[in-house]
A and B are shown apart, each in its own frame.
Chain A
Amino acid sequence: MSSSAAPATTGGTSRRMQGEAATAAQEDRQDRETGATVEFRQVRRAFGAAVALDGLDLDVRPGELLALLGPSGCGKTTALRMLAGFETPESGEVVVDGEDVTSVPANRRDAGMVFQSYSLFPHLSAADNVAFGLRMRKVSARERRARAAELLELVGLPHHGDRYPHQLSGGQQQRIALARALALRPRVLLLDEPLSALDAKVRLALREEIRRLQRELAITTLFVTHDQEEALSMADRVAVMHAGRLEQCAEPGELYARPATAFVAEFVGTMNRIPGRTGDDGGVVEVVGRRLPVDGPGAAPHREVDVLVRPEAVELAVAEKGTKGAEGTARVTGTTFLGAVTRISVRLADGTLVKADMTTHTATAFPAGTAVTVGLPERPVLVDERRA
């Protein structure tokens, strides 16, 4: 973890501590072998009339970091809590390494959890918090101290063992919580929005540290977040959930480039909805004057639809005088500087607002008011029902 969090140490001491931390990580990895598999099989859970999980099917591979991503109320936290043993499904099974743990109580689940609000015990020092689980298992005081020291070193806080939670910053508390979750060498690590209470800079640093630790320990990890950037940057795979169901589970690149549903397409990244009309067989759609193949099984023929297109896929060109057709009457309404990229807002002839991303250098050719032509690449596009 960041060296800035810990006081300066001599070179020898620092090297020794790094060596100890590496040894601890290696021992953890050996104890865990290749990480556990996790399966949710047709899991259902409702709270009154609200269905939190509606037949969730999800497999987590050994040693991978899988992010559960979705809007509030989609069921991602319920799924995590179910794996931790804090919730019981009405039907379905939760399986870890082939063992049905659905009815195993939380204190015997062998899953380390990091909570959103740290949840460190306020009356215990950082070291005692880390060693809490070992104490519950009646491990000797000497072993507890040694293990706590190893883990504090692992999370980059070797000199903070005597401090109490109220004497630590949010980021430091979350690192202690992470160390506590790892103390019992759990089969699965569960992270419930662990970064959402932290400020942006600390969040970014801790994000990288969690990923590094997860890889070092090769521990199967479920990470709940509503922050798509966090999910896409950290996870091996991302499971997008919506209304208690799994919409798509894929690697970040595939999720972004080939979303399986309109919900995923719009939830992950920015997406334009451009009006179009399907052709005779539903496999082709007419949009901004072009005929493009429809991605997936196709749509009903002769239907008014929305075509889903990423801003970076939209092509703009300054319209030459005398250009005719729908694409020729579009006009730039504004630009938003995003750093290397600038987002250009264009209003089509039918009033639809389309966003197009291009390099900031290129975007200077499209000031507000410029008449432009809008084009799309010759690639299959996702279509959805026309939204009013």
Chain B
Amino acid sequence: MSASTDVTATAAPAAAAAPATARRRAHAAAGPLAVAPLLIVVAVAFGIPALAMLGGAFTTTDNGPGTAVHYTTGNLTASLQGAYLTALLGSVKLSLTAALISTVAGLLLAQAVVTSRYAVLRHAVLSASGVLANFGGVPLAFAFVATLGNAGVLTQHLGLDKAGWSLYSFWGLVLVYLYFLVPLMVLTVIPSLDGLRAQWREAAQNNGATTWQYWRHVALPVLAPSLLGGFVLLFGSAFAAYATARAMVGASVPLITLQIANALNGNVFAGQGNVGLAMSLDMVVVAGLVMAVYIPLQRRSARWLV
């Protein structure tokens, strides 16, 4: 009697545990299944092109019959010489300049919005920034050509052409890039500015700090990782921009994205496709270096500005 009771007592929890274990297993399997569509998209849209770029950058194909493929570092070497190097440096210079100006301008604008007493201003600026940060390519180029191009409305009205102004130059391109980079910086930095505690300012004042000293010794150091993160984002955005530059300056300002397009299209020299892929790899390396700086700083910033 007592034995049968024991058996029942131990069997009941075991029977109850079985469905629970099955549920846990099903739950564990559901996670990977849920992210499967994303993984597929990433594989198709990023993984395969990345592999193709990597493979193409380090191979060359013989002309003529047989089309034998050889491994080489010649493409990378070529991508870092002559006009290609000039284009890479031009892109870096343009991106650094546009990102730097946008970081400063975006910070000032965002601070003005954050400290404004008018909530409607904040909503308006945030909404406009959301739209403008995504306004690029040919439409943006056309808008500037119509306004500040050689026959643009403002150029004619203000006589800018007589003052030596040209939209189709390095600084013209910087100006156009600012149009979408400044709003992007505003969107990026506002959460960080919101995270600056009012009591830090008061504590600084209480310890004798002037407004300038507060910004110099407290606010900017605390914001530095976020600002650098925003700068990196802007740099990447400017570095990768293609359509706007293509529509505006063509070949007059050397940029890496335009050189890649030329190489892949064979517009200037035929058979430079793999050099174009090597230039793409150069861009990835530059972006990787920038991200290597950004990620640890972002982690630190997240801890401070909780």
Residues of chain A whose beta carbon lies under 8 Å from any beta carbon of chain B: 84-86, 105-109, 111-113, 115, 117, 119-123, 132-133, 135-137, 166, 180-181, 183-184
Contacts and interface: CB of A to CB of B under 8 A. Distances in A.
B176 to A, nearest CB: 36
Contacts of A109: 206
A183 B203 contact: no
B202 A107 contact: no
Nearest to A112: B206
Contact of A85 (B197, B205, B221): B205
A122 B222 contact: yes
Interface residues of B, number: 19
Given A107-B209, A121-B222, A166-B303, A132 B217 contact: yes
Nearest to A111: B206
Chain B interface SS verdict (over half): helix
Given A132-B217, A136-B213, A166-B303, A121 B200 contact: yes
Contacts of B222: 121-123
26 contacts: A85-B205, A86-B205, A105-B205, A106-B206, A107-B205, A107-B207, A107-B209, A112-B206, A113-B206, A115-B202, A115-B203, A119-B197, A119-B203, A121-B218, A121-B222, A122-B222, A132-B209, A132-B217, A133-B207, A136-B208, A166-B303, A180-B203, A180-B207, A181-B206, A183-B207, A184-B208
B53 interface: no
Interface in B247-279: none
B77 interface: no
A33 B94 CA distance: 62
Contacts of B286: none
Contacts of A132: 204, 207, 209, 217
Contacts of B197: 117, 119
A259 B301 CA distance: 51
Interface in B50-70: none
Given A107-B205, A132-B217, A166-B303, A119 B200 contact: yes
A388 B291 CA distance: 69
B286 to A, nearest CB: 29
Contact of A122 (B204, B209, B213, B304): B304
A50 B221 CA distance: 37
Contact of B208 (A108, A121, A123): A108
Nearest to B224: A123
Contacts of A184: 207-208
A105 B210 CA distance: 10
B195 to A, nearest CB: 10
B304 A137 contact: no
Contacts of B217: 132, 135-136
A122 B199 contact: no
